[in-house]
């Protein structure tokens, strides 16, 4: 009889515990959230951080119980933009199985970026992309912000929306990036249309180029956007020259972004190597160049961007050379 009583008490405790965790999170949500971060003073932010830490700590202390609760809270929330971002960020951190990552994406889609530090948004989108989640809508949100500035504190650089979005679009399958960029050009706001057109040009695909060229010919893009694209096409064109062998260049492509054992530190900053690649490589190598470029952005850094642009010069030059 005693064993039955003990078991019954344990059963009640175990079944009630998840509800207690969820009740705590709901109570804290009502107390903590419902604010615009950009409207707070420094003192108010400091005080608010303590409340937010308590919400996060409650979830982290009981992740198995918190995950389904956060999922429901995010799905049900319709008005609190910052809560959707913060709760989604929290859910991504405590979900070791990736089961709840689609909910994280859905929560970020509800977030208004004007209320956020864009570096935090870029970081979580980059992570979701790495985890093979569909972040096309999230990437478009980033390139839709006028005069966006993304400060990467670890590298002391500030990126514009175009450069920041490269870390997202370059890590997508090419066809996926192409589709979302075309969609942003067709349906996005003026900022998205410009930025997407510039990034699609950098993507440098037959379909993307044909799409842009039609828009340019029909004057369906702003003159400033057309000028920007034409400037990039000229800037990324390299005179094929140099004496590095084709065999060595192909080896370097395999080693992108670097191979310290071979003392290969990337194409960026090595004009001789870039020019030799443009000389030695041909149409048959375009897919290999593109695959190498997709390896240039394993993390968020200025070095990664420089290597991306170096490979873009090679890709654009070789593609143009192939149709001469």
321 falls in which pLDDT band (50, 70, 90)?
Answer: confident
Looking at residue 205, the DSSP 8-state letter turns out to be -
297 falls in which pLDDT band (50, 70, 90)?
Answer: very high
Q: Provide the pLDDT for residue 155.
A: 85
In angstroms, the CA 317 to CA 320 distance is 5
Q: Provide the pLDDT for residue 324.
A: 45
Quick one: average pLDDT of 225-242? Answer: 96
Looking at residue 158, the DSSP 8-state letter turns out to be E
What's the whole-number average pLDDT of the chain?
A: 92
Is the pLDDT reported for residue 116 higher than 50? yes
Is the pLDDT reported for residue 250 higher than 90? yes
159 falls in which pLDDT band (50, 70, 90)?
Answer: very high
Q: What confidence tens digit (pLDDT) does each residue in 63-73 have?
A: 999 999 999 99
Is the pLDDT reported for residue 10 higher than 60? no
Q: Provide the pLDDT for residue 309.
A: 98
Which candidate, 150, 138, 135, places its Cα nearest to that of 112?
A: 138
3-state percent breakdown (helix, strand, coil) of the chain, nearest 5: 70, 0, 25
Inter-residue long-range contacts of 128-132, CB under 8 Å, 24+ positions, other chains counted: 128/92, 128/101, 128/104, 129/168, 129/171, 129/172, 130/171, 131/98, 131/101
Domain regions of the chain by residue span = 19-116, 246-322
In angstroms, the CA 233 to CA 241 distance is 19
Which candidate, 96, 72, 99, places its Cα nearest to that of 84?
A: 72
Is the pLDDT reported for residue 6 higher than 50? no
In angstroms, the CA 96 to CA 28 distance is 24
Q: What confidence tens digit (pLDDT) does each residue in 163-192 have?
A: 999 999 999 999 999 999 999 999 999 999
In angstroms, the CA 104 to CA 55 distance is 17
Let me know: does 227 contact 197? Beta carbons within 8 Å: no
């Amino acid at each position: 009889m005693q064993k039955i009583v003990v078991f019954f008490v344990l059963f009640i405790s175990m079944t009630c515990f998840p509800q207690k965790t969820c009740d705590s999170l709901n109570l804290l949500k009502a107390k903590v959230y419902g604010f615009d971060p950009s409207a707070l003073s420094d003192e108010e932010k400091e005080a608010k951080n303590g409340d937010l830490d308590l919400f996060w700590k409650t979830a982290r202390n009981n992740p198995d119980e918190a995950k389904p609760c956060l999922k429901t809270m995010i799905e049900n929330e319709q008005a609190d933009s910052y809560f959707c971002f913060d709760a989604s960020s929290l859910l991504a951190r405590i979900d070791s199985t990736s089961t709840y990552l689609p909910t994280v994406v859905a929560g970020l889609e509800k977030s208004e970026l004007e209320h956020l530090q864009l570096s935090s948004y870029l970081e979580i989108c980059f992570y979701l992309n790495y985890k093979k989640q569909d972040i096309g809508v999230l990437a478009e949100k980033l390139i839709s912000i006028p005069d966006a500035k993304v400060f990467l504190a670890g590298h002391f650089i500030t990126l514009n929306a175009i450069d920041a979005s490269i870390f997202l679009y370059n890590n997508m399958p090419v066809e996926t990036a192409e589709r979302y960029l075309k969609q942003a050009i067709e349906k996005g706001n003026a900022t998205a249309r410009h930025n997407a057109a510039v990034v699609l040009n950098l993507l440098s695909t037959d379909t993307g180029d044909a799409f842009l060229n039609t828009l340019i010919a029909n004057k369906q893009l702003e003159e400033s956007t057309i000028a920007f694209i034409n400037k990039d096409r000229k800037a990324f064109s390299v005179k094929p020259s140099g004496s590095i062998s084709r065999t060595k260049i192909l080896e370097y492509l395999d080693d992108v972004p670097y191979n310290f054992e071979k003392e290969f530190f990337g194409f960026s900053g090595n004009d001789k190597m870039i020019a030799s690649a443009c000389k030695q490589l041909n149409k048959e190598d375009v897919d290999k160049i593109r695959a190498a470029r997709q390896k240039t952005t394993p993390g968020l850094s200025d070095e990664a961007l420089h290597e991306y642009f170096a490979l873009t010069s090679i890709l654009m030059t070789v593609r143009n050379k192939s149709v001469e």
